[in-house]
């Protein structure tokens, strides 16, 4: 589908017809029990409506997934992988449509939305071709012992609003490959790409294998507490993750929680300032700073502090901010009005407690635009530093002693990611090893791939996504133990 043939609501600010977006329940595309307005964050205006499920529809979706589970489970992994390949082919055929739809509802620049779709394709094709190695732990005259992985049943996949399409696929693909069926719930403010995915899946998958239900804030608890849901895969805030964990406890559901982060970047005295500033800027402000694993605290050695701050501020001031469908835009709006108002309060706090050297303002427009903002000379105990700021506002702090800065970097309830920047790679890697985070990088950040596990420590989550470890979270262990003598 070329840009010239895309619907008007993907190329202009005209509204979309409400019947273009439907839920997928038991192999049928259906309307919701009610509808919700979807706002374009670049304009602050409603541009589409989306279906919302009620309790009866949620129950119907779970029941359909439960009915579909035995037959899906009993397929071979090659057969399930072939279905995933067909899904990837369908996505690839509509890649530009999906990317522009993501930009309209999420706000990110179109180049980043295209990257999200490309990542969804990469992850889906990777899992489509993945096959487990047989794990025999004993094979002798006395016994044969094998560890096998069995699917769980119905998986509830709960998707956040910052990477709505990519995260649909990186949860669906491993869940389906390992033999589970799925009820997928997109975020209330970014449901359209998931509903379009349902249109693609409807002619490909057997009825009930994947169900997609809409939400206006009430659907999640119905899924996380449902007795017929065997696992919840949730990505979102730590606060909501705690509620999910509590809700799942009643039936001892398996849970994977990928939660908030307050990632630190440490710039060592031997770092290349320009290269480090550019890399950290990308890792800090990607998706308007709305990534759980964005760099959110920057610690720079005092010998480089002024030089780094100048370069970091220059990068912020030169960034093109605007509507994501503009091909020249580098930072789009924040996703929703609630987040926008929260960031206004963060800006006020930053002015009071630090020195703003770039940005510091919201754009004078109807959309939710916040200039990339850099704050220096601010204390570690400021909420701007201590709390997760989900938006384009970043503090730069200074240090002299390496052991001290490692303690400061680790002094948070979060433990998602961290990075170290310096020329001496062995030394930088040794520092990275001391940071309390699920992923620690050297001279890069947000370096993810489908074969490498990704998860958090402390209150940044439980379990892993991606890789063999991520696949394992969609299964239970079964030990087959045969006595031979």
**C-alpha dihedral (322, 323, 328, 329), degrees to nearest 10:** 50
d(CA 363, CA 74): 55
Exposure string over 450-478, b if 16+ CB within 10 A, otherwise e: beebbbbbbbbbbbbbbbeebbbbbbeee
d(CA 279, CA 471): 30
Residue 347 φ/ψ region, left for φ over 0, alpha for ψ in the -120 to 50 degree band, beta for the rest: alpha
Cα angle 99-312-426, degrees, rounded to a multiple of 5: 90
Determine whether 469 is an active site residue: no
d(CA 413, CA 42): 33
What sign does the dihedral 446-452-454-458 (CA atoms) show? Answer: negative
The β-bridge partners of 50 are: 36
Of the residues 96, 258, 311, 388, only one is catalytic, namely 258
CA distance readout (Å), 394 to 237, 283, 290, 351, 357: 19, 11, 12, 12, 11
What's 337-406 look like in SS3?
Answer: HHHHHHHHHHHHHHHHHCEEEECCCECCCCCCCECCEEEECCCCCCHHHHCCCCCCEEEEEEECCHHHHH
**CA 37 to centroid of chain Cα atoms:** 23
Tokens 């005259």, residue located: 141
Do 32 and 57 contact (CB within 8 A), yes or no? Answer: yes
Cβ neighbours of residue 386 under 8 Å, at least 6 residues apart?
262, 380, 412
CA distance readout (Å), 251 to 154, 158, 225, 411, 434: 13, 18, 8, 34, 37
d(CA 152, CA 172): 14
Cβ neighbours of residue 415 under 8 Å, at least 6 residues apart?
261, 436, 437, 438, 456, 457, 458, 459, 460
Whose CA is closest to 226, among 275, 193, 183, 165? 183
Cβ neighbours of residue 247 under 8 Å, at least 6 residues apart?
221, 224, 225
- Catalytic residues, by residue number, are 258
């Amino acid at each position: 589908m070329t840009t010239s043939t895309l619907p008007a609501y993907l190329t202009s600010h005209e509204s979309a017809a409400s019947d273009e977006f439907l839920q997928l329940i038991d192999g049928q595309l259906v309307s919701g029990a009610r509808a919700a307005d979807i706002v374009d964050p670049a304009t602050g205006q409603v541009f589409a409506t989306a279906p919302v499920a009620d309790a009866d529809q949620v129950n119907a979706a779970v029941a359909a997934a439960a009915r579909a589970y035995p037959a899906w489970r009993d397929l071979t992994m090659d057969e399930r992988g072939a279905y995933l390949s067909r899904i990837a082919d369908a996505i690839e055929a509509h890649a530009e449509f999906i990317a522009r739809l993501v930009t309209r509802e999420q706000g990110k620049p179109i180049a980043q939305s295209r990257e999200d779709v490309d990542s969804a394709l990469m992850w889906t094709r990777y899992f489509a071709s993945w096959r487990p190695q047989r794990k025999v732990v004993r094979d002798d005259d006395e016994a044969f012992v094998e560890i096998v992985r069995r699917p769980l049943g119905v998986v509830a996949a709960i998707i956040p609003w910052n990477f709505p399409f990519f995260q649909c696929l990186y949860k669906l693909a491993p869940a389906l490959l390992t033999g589970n069926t799925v009820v997928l719930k997109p975020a209330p403010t970014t449901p359209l790409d998931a509903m379009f995915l349902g249109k693609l899946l409807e002619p490909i998958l057997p009825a009930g294998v994947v169900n997609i239900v809409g939400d206006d804030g009430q659907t999640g608890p119905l899924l996380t507490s449902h007795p017929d849901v065997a696992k919840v895969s949730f990505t979102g805030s730590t606060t909501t993750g705690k509620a999910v964990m509590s809700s799942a406890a009643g039936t001892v559901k398996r849970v994977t929680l990928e939660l908030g982060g307050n990632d630190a970047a440490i710039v060592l005295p031997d770092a290349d300032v320009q290269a480090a500033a550019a890399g950290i800027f990308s890792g800090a402000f990607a998706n308007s700073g709305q990534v759980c694993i964005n760099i959110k605290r920057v610690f720079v050695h005092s010998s480089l502090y002024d030089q780094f701050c100048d370069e970091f501020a220059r990068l912020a001031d030169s960034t093109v901010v605007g509507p994501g469908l503009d091909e020249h835009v580098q930072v789009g709006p924040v996703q929703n009005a609630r987040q926008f108002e929260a960031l206004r309060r963060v800006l006020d706090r930053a002015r009071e407690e630090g020195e703003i050297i770039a940005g510091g303002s919201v754009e004078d427009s109807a959309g939710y635009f916040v200039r990339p903002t850099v704050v220096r000379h601010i204390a570690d105990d400021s909420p701007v530093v201590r709390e997760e700021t989900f938006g384009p506002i970043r503090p730069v702090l200074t240090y002299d002693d390496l052991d001290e800065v490692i303690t400061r970097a680790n002094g948070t309830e979060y433990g998602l990611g961290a990075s170290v920047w310096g020329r001496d790679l062995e030394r930088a890697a040794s520092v990275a090893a001391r940071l309390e985070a699920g992923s620690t990088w050297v001279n890069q950040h947000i370096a993810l791939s489908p074969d490498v596990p990704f998860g958090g420590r402390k209150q940044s989550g439980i379990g892993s996504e991606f890789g063999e470890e991520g696949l394992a979270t969609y299964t239970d262990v079964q030990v087959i133990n045969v006595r031979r003598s």
